[in-house]
Amino acid sequence: MRKIILAVLGVLLIVLAIFVAKFIIDSNVKDKPENVKSEKPVIVYKVENTTNPVRLTTNGTVRALNKFEIFAEVEGVFMKSSKSFRPGQSFRKGELLLQINDREFAANVQGVKSALYSSLSSIMPDLRLDYPEIYPKWKTYLDEFSMNSSTPELPEFENNKERYFITGRDILSDYYALKNLEERLVKFNLRAPFDGILTEALVNEGTLVRPGQKLGEFVDPSVYELMIALKQDYIQYIDVGNEVEMKSLNNSKTFEGEITRINAQIDQSSQSVQVFIQFKNEEAREGMYLEALINANEIENSIQIPRELVINKTQVYAVEDGLLRLIEITPVHYDKEQVIVQGIPDGTQILSGVVPGAYSGMKVSVEKEESL
């Protein structure tokens, strides 16, 4: 009887252990979650095509608009004038800029002028007897002839007889030889063609100068010009008259000007075109290095977006039905940070920034919509 009871208890313990084990196993089983694909929140721009101005940035060196290099056309000793011939010296228009000793040449001119006067005097008796009708005007010319002033023009010939007579006496050849010498005599004294400043002086008082020798450089400090080189692709966006803002490299000075000339030739080495910007400013100086910001022409039906949004040079990401899609665009103009593009319909939602791991077909949700 005792053995039977022990056997029954053992069976009951085994059954109980099985039920307990099954309960523990069943309680540890967790339901498998459904595979739900997450949506990435993004911020988008809503496209509204407008007219966008093209702004071009480049740099160049300032040059005086009115500037000329001074070269000697005659030979002589450089003489002191009313002002010193030194860099930085200012001169008014018409003021004596430089003077070269002309005493020897002036004496030669007076000798030739005296010879012409003698020739004119010698023909007066013949004119009085043979050509009384033209004698008065030649007498008047001779009376007004001065050795101390520029030789006046000869009277006009009334007929061929008069021309043959005057030419036969070498009056014309002597006259034009004298006028040539008088023109060269003027070149011994050079006067300022405009109000300006001497920026370079290469000779001193007492220096012997020769024809063709450079003496200095003279500039007008009131009007300046900035020459820049633009890529030929940018020329279509600019015209003569476009406004330009110029700044020094440290942004301490700002100048305003406008485009006055555009070269018709393309530089073969750089494939660029020269553009000239004219401006007036008392603070400008010859040789300054300036950065120019050109307000060029406008591009219609376009938007301006950050450059990093452009994919593969001709695509951007747009949000369509909760998915990212690559759409085609037409980039028109790039600058340092922005790009003007065309080809995106109004109302299209495009990404406002770079989304890590983005791909076409990616599921997204619009968190915020902004305007460009």
Instruction: Give residue-wise pLDDT tens across range 234-268.
Output: 888 899 999 999 998 887 889 999 999 999 999 88
pLDDT higher than threshold 90 for residue 278: yes
pLDDT of residue 228: 93
Q: Which two tokens stand for residue 228?
A: 């820049």
pLDDT of residue 31: 52
pLDDT level of residue 37 (50, 70, 90 thresholds):
low
Mean pLDDT of 269-289: 91
Q: What is the dihedral of CA 186, 188, 194, 200, to 10 degrees?
A: 160
Q: Burial level of 345, CB count in 10 A (0-12/13-18/19+)?
A: exposed
The strands making up 196-201's β-sheet, listed across from edge to edge, are 67-71, 214-219, 196-201, 90-91
Which CATH fold topology does 42-51+300-371 show?
2.40.420
Task: Kindly report, as residue ranges, where domains of CATH 2.40.420.20 are found in the chain.
Answer: 42-51+300-371
pLDDT of residue 209: 93
pLDDT higher than threshold 50 for residue 215: yes
- Taking only the tens place, the pLDDT of each residue in 100-140 is 999 999 999 999 999 999 999 999 998 898 889 989 999 99
CATH 3.30.499.10 assigned to 68-98+188-219: no
pLDDT of residue 4: 75
pLDDT of residue 35: 46
Contact 191, 239 (CB under 8 A): no
pTM for this one?
0.67
- Gap between the Cα atoms of 341 and 338, Å rounded: 10
Secondary structure element (H or E) that encloses residue 321, with its range: none
- Gap between the Cα atoms of 257 and 318, Å rounded: 41
Which homologous superfamily does the CATH classification assign to the domain defined by 56-64+221-298? Efflux pump adaptor protein, beta barrel domain (2.40.30.170)
For helices 103-130 and 171-186, angle between their N-to-C axes, nearest 10 degrees: 150
User: What percent of the chain is predicted at pLDDT more than 70?
Assistant: 96
Task: Kindly report, as residue ranges, where domains of CATH 2.40.30.170 are found in the chain.
Answer: 56-64+221-298
How many residues appear in the chain? Answer: 372
Task: Kindly report, as residue ranges, where domains of CATH 2.40.50.100 are found in the chain.
Answer: 68-98+188-219
- Gap between the Cα atoms of 354 and 370, Å rounded: 15
pLDDT of residue 14: 79
Contact 52, 237 (CB under 8 A): no
- In whole numbers, what is the pLDDT of the chain averaged over residues? 89
Please list the residues that pair with 180 across neighbouring strands.
Answer: none
Mean pLDDT of 38-60: 90
Taking the CB of residue 355, how many other CB atoms lie within 10 A of it?
Answer: 16
pLDDT level of residue 5 (50, 70, 90 thresholds):
confident
- Gap between the Cα atoms of 367 and 322, Å rounded: 11
